[in-house]
Amino acid sequence: MRPHITVITIGVEDLKRSLRFYRDGLGFKTEGIVGEEFEHGAVAFIDMQPGLRLALWPRSSIAHDTGLPLGTASPVEMTLGHNVASKAEVDEVMALAADAGGVILKPASETFWGGYAGYFQDPDGHVWEVVWNPAWEESR
The pLDDT value given to residue 58: 97
79-132 carries CATH number 3.10.180.10: yes
The pLDDT value given to residue 136: 84
**114-121: long-range contacts, CB 8 A cutoff, minimum separation 24:** 116/87, 116/90, 117/90, 118/90, 118/94, 119/79, 120/94, 121/75
pLDDT along the chain (140 residues), means of 10: 93 97 97 95 96 97 95 90 96 98 98 96 97 76
Would you kindly state where each structural domain of the chain is located, as residue ranges? 7-66, 79-132
**Structural fold of domain 7-66:** 2,3-Dihydroxybiphenyl 1,2-Dioxygenase; domain 1 (3.10.180)
The pLDDT value given to residue 139: 45
**85-88: long-range contacts, CB 8 A cutoff, minimum separation 24:** 85/132, 85/138, 86/132, 87/116, 87/132
Nearest CA to 120 out of 134, 108, 133 is that of 108
Same fold, 7-66 and 79-132: yes
What pTM was estimated for this model as a whole? 0.90
